[in-house]
Amino acid sequence: MNKEDKNIIIVENLSKHYIVKKNILSKKNLIKAVDNVSFEIKEGEALGLIGESGCGKSTTASLILNLIKADEGKIIYKNMDLTKINDDVMRGLRKDLQIIFQASQGTLDPLMTIDELLKVPLKLHKIVDNSELDCEVTRLLNLVELSESDKYKYPYQMSGGQRQRIGIARAIATKPSFIICDEPVSALDVSIQGQILNLLETLREELKLTYLFISHDLKVVKHLCDRIAVMNKGKIVEIGETRKILENPKEEYTKKLISSQLFV
C-alpha cells in the first residue's frame, strides 16, 4: 500500500450523550454513547474500530458523517470542522464521505432495479453526464465483480453477498475518498465474508480509498486494518498498529476482548 502520512480525518474530543428513561418509574439516565473520543485517520489507511455491542461505534460513524450532531468536539476534514459547517457545504461533501452498512437490503429500495438504484447517486451528485449513465453503471458493476445483466434485477432477486456488493457499488459511485464500513460483513455467511473483505481491500488499492472499518469481530479487522482503535463504553481505550495491539495489548479491556474471541 502506498500510504501517505497526511491525515484525512481528525477527530478531537468528540462526545455525544443521550438522556433516556430506563422504565416508566425510573429516573432519567445519561448514556455517554461517545465520550471525549480523539483519533486521526491517515490518507489510504484502514483504521479498525472495534468493541462490544453498544460501545459507541455506530454513533461515532454517524457523528463523523454529520448524520447526528455532536455535543462537543471537532471533526476536521479538508481543514473544515464538520461540526460547524452549514448544510449546503455538507451536501457538497456528502459524495466524498460515504458509508456501507451491515445489511444493505434495508437500504435498497425494493421497487427499484439495480440499474435505477445505482443511477440515484450518480444523478444526485452529477458524477457523469446523462449520456454516460449506462456505461457508468456497467463500470460500477464490474468493479464490484457483478455482471452487466444484474442491472435488470431487483434487490430481492440477489443473494445477501450480491446485495452487499450493490451497497459497495452505491458507496463508490460518487468517487469518495473516505468510506465508513459499519459491520459490512456481519450479516453474511462466513464463506461470503472473505469475498467481500477481499473486494473491499482491492477497491481500497484501486480507488485509493481510506476506511474507518467498524466491527466487533477481530478476525475481520485483522487482515484489512493497518491500525485498530479499541472502544469501550464510549471511550477509545487503546489505539495502535493492528499487529502490536493483537500481539501485545496494553489495556485490560483489550486483553479480555481478544481472549473472549479465542483469537490467535
Residues of the shown chain interacting with Mg ion in the complex, contacts defined by CB under 5 A: 58
Piece of 2-10, 49-57, 82-90, 163-171 that binds ligand ATP (CB under 6 A): 49-57
Piece of 39-47, 53-61, 147-155, 192-200 that binds ligand ATP (CB under 6 A): 53-61
User: 118 is in the binding site of which of Mg ion, ligand ATP, none (Cβ under 5 to 8 A by kind)?
Assistant: none
Among 151, 165, 170, 216, binds ligand ATP (CB under 6 A): 216
Residues 183-212 that bind ligand ATP (CB under 6 A): none
- Per CB under 6 A, does 18 bind ligand ATP? yes
The nearest distance, CB 57 to Mg ion, in angstroms, is 5
The nearest distance, CB 194 to ligand ATP, in angstroms, is 21
DSSP 8-state symbol, 27: P
Q: How many CB atoms lie under 10 A from the CB of residue 177?
A: 18
- Per CB under 6 A, does 31 bind ligand ATP? yes
User: 55 is in the binding site of which of Mg ion, ligand ATP, none (Cβ under 5 to 8 A by kind)?
Assistant: ligand ATP
H or E segment to which residue 57 belongs: helix 57-64
Q: How many residues does the chain have?
A: 264
Among 44, 56, 155, 249, binds ligand ATP (CB under 6 A): 56
Q: 57 or 204, CB closer to ligand ATP?
A: 57
User: Side-chain half-sphere of 233: how many Cα atoms within 13 Å?
Assistant: 3
Which cell numbers in the block locate residue 132?
A: 454516460
Give me Rg for the CA atoms of the chain: 19
- Per CB under 6 A, does 59 bind ligand ATP? yes
DSSP 8-state symbol, 87: H
The nearest distance, CB 206 to ligand ATP, in angstroms, is 28
The nearest distance, CB 33 to ligand ATP, in angstroms, is 3
d(CA 53, CA 233): 10
Which cell numbers in the block locate residue 50?
A: 472495534
Complete edge-to-edge strand list for the sheet that includes strand 97-100: 97-100, 178-182, 210-215, 46-50, 227-232, 235-241
- Per CB under 6 A, does 232 bind ligand ATP? no
Which cell numbers in the block locate residue 8?
A: 484525512
- Per CB under 6 A, does 20 bind ligand ATP? yes
Q: 54 or 194, CB closer to ligand ATP?
A: 54
Find the helix packing angle between 133-143 and 114-124, rounded to 10°: 110
d(CA 182, CA 178): 13
Among 4, 29, 54, 84, binds ligand ATP (CB under 6 A): 54
CA distances from residue 123 to 67, 104, 243 in whole angstroms, order as listed: 21, 20, 42
Q: How many residues lie near ligand ATP (CB under 6 A)?
A: 13
Q: 31 or 80, CB closer to ligand ATP?
A: 31
CA-based nearest residue to 169, from 122, 232, 234 = 122
Q: Interface residues with ligand ATP (CB under 6 A)?
A: 18, 20, 31, 33, 51, 53-59, 216
